[in-house]
């Protein structure tokens, strides 16, 4: 499961790095002064903002044929990974789910991986 979480959020690394040192660098402000703290509870670790892979990389059409792409959003057992873990936006998650289901139908992706 850790793989699915880390791969889609990988493109966001550069973006969050840009904002990270910028906010803490001048004056060494306490983290409470940060304008958009995620969650609010976890002060110790900074949770990176997840971004939609399809929006960032400008992938318009999610096609059932590109198994490589779809496989990133399918868990080990063949389940579709929820949006809250991958950070995909609503519109693209809908298209993604449709593409995955079509790919399952034509035996490009498994309905359930066997063990």
Partner 1 sequence: MQRTYEIMFIVRPDILDEDLDKLIAGLEGNITQGGGSIKSLEKLGRRKLAYTVKKFNDGNYVLLTILADGSLVGEIERRLRVSEPVIKFISVRMDEEEKRVAKIKAIRATRKKLSAQPAAAPAAPVEAAPAPAPAAEAASA
The conformational region for residue 18 under phi > 0 = left, psi -120 to 50 = alpha, else beta, is alpha
Minimum Å gap between C-beta 106 and partner 1 is 5
Cβ proximity to partner 1: between 42 and 110 the closer is 110
Minimum Å gap between C-beta 53 and partner 1 is 16
Minimum Å gap between C-beta 60 and partner 1 is 5
* Rounded Cα gap, residues 88 and 54, in angstroms: 7
* Rounded Cα gap, residues 63 and 42, in angstroms: 38
Cβ proximity to partner 1: between 5 and 67 the closer is 67
Residues contributing to the site for partner 1 (CB under 8 A): 58, 60-61, 64-65, 102, 104-111, 114
According to DSSP, residue 10 is labeled G
3-class DSSP state of 25: coil
Minimum Å gap between C-beta 61 and partner 1 is 5
Cβ proximity to partner 1: between 13 and 105 the closer is 105
Closest Cα partner for 69 from 85, 45, 88? Answer: 88
Cβ proximity to partner 1: between 33 and 111 the closer is 111
Structure tokens at 9: 């959020």
């Amino acid at each position: 499961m850790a793989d699915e979480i880390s791969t889609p959020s990988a493109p966001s690394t550069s973006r969050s790095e840009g904002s990270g040192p910028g906010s803490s660098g001048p004056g060494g402000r306490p983290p409470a002064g940060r304008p958009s703290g995620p969650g609010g509870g976890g002060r110790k670790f900074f949770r990176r903002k997840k971004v939609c892979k399809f929006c960032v990389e400008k992938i318009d059409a999610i096609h059932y044929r590109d198994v490589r792409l779809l496989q990133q959003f399918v868990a080990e057992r063949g389940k579709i990974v929820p949006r809250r873990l991958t950070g995909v936006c609503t519109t693209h998650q809908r298209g993604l789910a449709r593409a995955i289901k079509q790919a399952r139908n034509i035996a490009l992706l498994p309905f359930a991986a066997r063990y």
